[in-house]
Structure 1
Amino acid sequence: MEVLMRTMFQSLGKNHSMNKLAKKYGLRMGAARFVAGDSTESAIQTSKELNNSGKVVTLDHLGEFVFTEEEARLSTAMCIQTLEAIAESGVQSNLSLKMTSLGLDISKELCMENMRRILHTARMNNIFVRIDMEDYLHCQISLDMYKELRKEFDNVGIVIQAYLYRTEQDMNDLHQYQANLRLVKGAYKESPEVSFPEKKDVDENYKKIIKMHLLNGHYTAVASHDEEMIQYTKRLVRENGISNDQFEFQMLYGICVELQDRLVKEGYKVRVYVPYGIDWFGYFMRRLAERPANVWFVLKNFAK
């Protein structure tokens, strides 16, 4: 049943008609728990509240479907607007983005032009930008573009997914770039031809790449709500004398808040991924697909 539900929500998240319907009716169905409103102002206010609780932030203006150059440039403008709002407000926040929302599926050249505009604005304001990793079909081109951008900008990082077979080799390739990486297990539905089908194998590979990156001396964002992985990271840094300045824990807005607070009290850096915008539906469906408990939360909101 859990696998069936996950597949259903992942499919819904990619449905263009459902996304249009969700835009029309706004942040209902309990999505406000996971999405910080549909405006830059609401995202900045949420960031201030999280900063006041001892956490830092990465903001992401959501964009699930981009079919034209005009839409890609509009998404780019929203990223720049977010960067300017971060700088003006003084909140402690990075920016996260998906390159498909900047026109990657239209042309690499368009996407690179938009990425350079964003990274230039971010560099002027001393803000770090994280490229989110998407599905397997976008993996290689995303890494290729990151490597090209990394030669020009030192304020850019990318995400690596533990559930892919190729990940260890990708980590080795990125070593020379001194990459600032967000390490995740992976949230997209992929074929067993390219990804580990068993959770235990994903978990073991996740531990392997956390250890690889930390021992290589590079900045590491451990993005997980899995307490076993968090405890593993704590032991690893303690046993190897790794400074707390070399890593951070990252979690999603609205998920495991008590765990976030506990880590802050223990002296660890916690960054909360805060998405916002009118294109919230695809992101929301992926959150439901990841954790069945999220589905029951939504059903309770419907009942109310």
Structure 2
Amino acid sequence: MHSIGLVVYPGFQTMGLAVASVFEYANLLRGERVYQFRLVSEDGGPVMTSQSFSVNTDRLRDATYDTLIVAGDNDCRLPPASLLDYLREAPDHSRRVAAICTGTFVLAAAGLLDGRRATTHWFHAQAFRKQYPGVQLDEDRIFVVDGPIWTSAGMTAGVDLALAIVEKDFGLATARNVARKLVLHQRRGGGQSQFSALLELDAKSDRVQLALAHATEHLGGDLSVEVLADVARLSPRQFSRVFREETGQSPAKAVERLRVEAARLLMETTRHPIEVIARETGFGDRERMRQAFLRAFGQPPQAIQRTSGVAEPLL
């Protein structure tokens, strides 16, 4: 059995508790208790959350854990020095040490991230870089795994990190089944951006939302202004004007962003060749996709594919 300890301290962000459901459903779907999950704190007993209710915890030093996950808080406050001292030695008795959101600040303060790659909530990335210049921070990642140290971005990214732990322990099929049970729209890979192109477009009218929904469902097809305008039941000229007013960009630019996001996700979760991904996401050929990636990320697709953690693509 794998023992998981979620380390909390006064004022921790309640979203961190969501990881418990990932391990709960891994147990249910496998038909046995493969994970033992515990809330732990330095002294045990009640610990106040960020929403002013308490949760009961076990004393951290009363047991050892295969995996320790440190919760974050809303203000990047550090726990007592005595807890940092304990975490500093955690890799000696835990196979994995992880952090959710601003819990990355805690691991950094304990010295566990020196010279390592890590991520945290994008909102706190600049402050993190200033405080811990010796850490290779990649704020545009859902989660990062560097040896035995795992870190995730903010809020719901903790669930993605927990699913990745399940995948590491019991395989992709189990992780996918847990994600389905939790009714997740998609299981995000660690290399996926913290930002969603569709969310940032933030269309307000039903007509533009309908056109964007059509685009996301038909990325491999014709998404010209004429086609999208027809879906929105507007003339191409009217559609282009309304679209730019609501999103701040042209329909062509928005479609490119959606395609780039979809292509990057495929690179991080499949072993498809770049030519196949370019075709499936509507770029048509690898050179058009390469140019779009350079505009979006400053890197070609091959560079992102190499750092995604997915095995070499099938030929």
| TM-score normalized with structure 1 length | 0.30
Q: Which has the higher contact order (CA 8 A, sep 6+)?
A: 1
Structure with more helix by fraction: 1
Structure of greater Rg: 2
